[in-house]
Structure 1
Amino acid sequence: MSEQKNPRGNPFGISLIPQLFNTCGLSTILMLTGKSPHLSQTNRFFLSRVLELIQPILIDKIKNMDREISLQYALQYLLLKIENRSTINYEFIYHFLHNKFGHVLDDQVAIHTYLMTMKMDHLNKTQNYSTYDSYRLYMEKKGIITTNLLRNEMFTMKSDLELKFLMEIFGYQFIPNESGDGTGALFIANKKRKNDFEKIQLLLTEISSNSNYRILYGVHNHWVAVTGMSEEKGSGQVFIHYNDPMIPEAKTIPLDEIDGTHRFYIFKESETDVVKLWEMMEQVIVQEIQIEKNLQNRTAVEKVLASREEVNIDLVKELNLSRKISMLQADRESKSHLSINLHPTKTLQSTRHSGKEKDWDTDVDFEFEDQN
């Protein structure tokens, strides 16, 4: 793909926001929703409020990041709440999105649940117990989010559905097209069919010049934000301009180089007032973050291992005492040519996870009361 830097093609001043590892989808959402003449002030105010509220579960280096980059953590926090069906306090978001997406939302929640379960299984097998515990808290305790979980999930590639959900709560409605691939995205199925190519060109040119629309651009395994279109005088060649969060820089690609692997997702400002939605989210986060904050300093795994360690210290003392007694007995019995026979009353228990789910269930004690 031949690309060149081009300062033109951004009539609405869409910001260029760098991504972190694999967070191109989240940074693209921030770019697309940050310069709306009607929504940007509301969106940024509430998203910044979310970031402020979740500070207790962010590590220090995140707190010192550029604000536009750190806001990606706030987006990830919200996405985790959206995709967990057991987050009872967020039922209002589920109903809001279900009214927009129907069974597609339920399908995504099921996929998310499966993927999280697979990750838990892997973490357990590799004995990464602190992270395993973070996932288990999230899956079994009504969507509780802790630092390890938030950091891990930040670096997973986001699907088009997940980004559609986020755009919706920012006040942008997805406009599906009959694409035939189930995504609802615009794409060129066959470049040899001139009518299809001209249709795509006309739609993209018209949409990109309207401030009420936004275009999410999926190119291979990467997300970028379309900033505009332009036509070269003389040759009539059409260019797509977009912000690439990976470099990060503004880029340009000739439209005739687009193939069937490129997808364009069209969003339009919704008539739905999302202010009430954000206000409700803020109220819930204020309550739940206290629980999540307390869990940072005393995770269940740390408590279990500490408890086991205390038991093991006692067992070691008892074992040593038993050995001394046995040695004294052996010394006396050796004079009578009797064999030495050590029989410790107890054996040292391993502080490591046994790998049995039954052991885990009986040992882990999840605490959700605010004891501060």
Structure 2
Amino acid sequence: MTIAADPLERLRTRTSEKWRAYPDDVLPLFVAEMDYPLAEPIAVALIDAVKRSDTGYVGPDRHVQSAFAAYASSTWGWEVDPQRVTTTTDVSVVIVESLRLVIRPGDRVIITPPVYPPFFGMVPEAGGVVEEVPLRFDDGAGWSLDLAGIERAFASGARAFLLCNPHNPVGLVHTAAELAAVAELAARYDAVVVSDEVHAPLTHSDAAFTPFLSVSDAAREHGIAAHAASKAWNLAGLKCALFVAAGDRMSDLLSGLPYEVEVRTSLFGRIASEAAYTAGGPWLDDVLEAVEANRALLTTLLAQYLPEVRYREPRASYLAWLDFRELGWGDDPSAVALDQARVALLPGPDFGSPGAGFARLNFACSPSVLTEAILRLAAVAP
């Protein structure tokens, strides 16, 4: 492993949300920002842009589309046509603008809680109404999509499904068979699947990510994917994301996007994303090695110091979905964690009603910070 998280004293000089939301006595393990230094190829690309005063508007340049297509091919065996890829500011905009194209005001859109909290707001922002079909959980098999529930929602009139693939916060990497079943349902009911795949490059070594648009003709006919380098390479503040289509029907829909949706892309975001997809692979490999080591460390720490907290190791990203219900810390255990342990977690109820009694922890940090966080939590446990 050749990458280490920056020390706390350096991290606290950052001005992003993770390091400005709370006082310095709080360990911030809430928002999805990593503590690792920026990948060198990305830093060089951005510094070079500054040196040449390349800080203007985005122009007609499709290098990032081609870079993403090459990355998708080499990483997932997914052949993407760069001409079917369009940029914008972030994945949230990809989701909202895609939904606006495929639903009418008042149409229902399926989401699968516990799920990324902004999903609950993106659907109404696009004019839709949230239809919740919670994930299924089995002690043996773990988390899975409720395909029967999704079919019932489509049959009763839901017009779209906002899929989280891989799933935040539980780290579920959906199987190709499940995704093909979703695509078949969408085709049967003439609905559309918008697949948020921002965590895809962070799939762990013991799992395999399947792009939704790769599973079948039905998926290509009825799906739009949202991609970005922002999560895997820690570029959220640079504002560049991708609409991806794989069939004529969705490509034609995306061609109707307002001009401003694309030109609001950040030039720095586009430069950084191209560098990430073309030269950021070795850095990401090191990050994933560090993340997987912390995933295992968290299992060990909880077993030793907080055995009441249940945790199922994720297979993607650096987020842990922790079940505090046996501790009796109420519906929002993150409030106890912050007030008494000075550890900031993301509240479980923000992820929907199945999140009561849970909290999400970001373990893309140093092993020492992760250890200190668990020791602080254990010190206030009953």
Common fold: TM-score over 0.5: no
TM-score, structure 2 length as denominator?
0.25
Tell which structure's C-alpha radius of gyration is larger.
Answer: 1
